[in-house]
Amino acid sequence: MEDDTVKGFLLEKGTPGFTAEKMENKMALRAVHNALINLDECRMKEEDRLQNANSFRDTARVLRMTRVGGAWIAVGCGMGAYEHALAYAQQREQFGRPIGGFQLIQDLLVQMLGNVTASQCMVLRLSQMQDAGEMKAEHASLAKAFVTTKTRETVAHARELLGGNGVLIDYNVGRFFADAEAIHSYEGTRQVNSLIVGRAITSFGAFL
């Protein structure tokens, strides 16, 4: 059936024309295997078509939900970086005392805690709105864009706080630092989520 509308399908592995190639050399979320999926003239049965997915509007409904998940993942990433940085600041000694006792280190920790706390509150509110059936696309986009931006700042502070050890995977914050980059880009980049919010608040769409 061809009607020029977006559709969704369940595709069996092994369908002629389907290939999935593992993407190598990721610098972030290395534990997650991502595949480059190619669909070349795949033919599918009508019973494998998702009957309620009939437009990009239906696809956008899925994205709205997955953006909430992306925002929560960013919250967890920031929390992990903060907790590891705090523990490190309490045990790492320089100039005869734990670095956590230095004013500038405390400032980094406080900025991280502020980001994490604001992000937790924002995404909790988002989930409450979702549960109440009140969440719109722009709410999910605002939270996803804001929280991942704050998380990027948080993980950068954590990495900085660990000095040279911050680039070693063994100290964990390097992993959070790298993962924040992927989280920032998937489920809609900051720019694309900003465009969704921008359209909602101005009533002018800056993209198609």
Please report, as ranges, the residues that interact with ligand FAD according to CB under 6 A. Answer: 29, 34, 182, 185-186, 189, 191-192, 207
Show the tokens assigned to 100. Answer: 């956590």
Nearer to ligand FAD, 90 or 191 (CB): 191
Residues 6+ apart with CB under 8 A from 156: 177
Q: Which residues are registered as beta bridge partners of 90?
A: none
CB 126 within 8 A of CB 66: no
Count the Cβ atoms, other than its own, within 10 Å of residue 184: 22
Nearer to ligand FAD, 111 or 194 (CB): 194
Note the Cα 34 to chain centre separation in Å.
15
Provide the minimum distance between the beta carbon of 115 and ligand FAD in the complex, in angstroms, as a whole number: 21
Provide the minimum distance between the beta carbon of 190 and ligand FAD in the complex, in angstroms, as a whole number: 7
Residue 193 to residue 27: CA distance in whole angstroms: 23
Nearer to ligand FAD, 56 or 134 (CB): 56
93 catalytic residue (yes or no): no
Provide the minimum distance between the beta carbon of 174 and ligand FAD in the complex, in angstroms, as a whole number: 17
Q: Which of 21, 41, 47, 187 is catalytic?
A: 187
CB 43 within 8 A of CB 14: no
Active site residues: 187
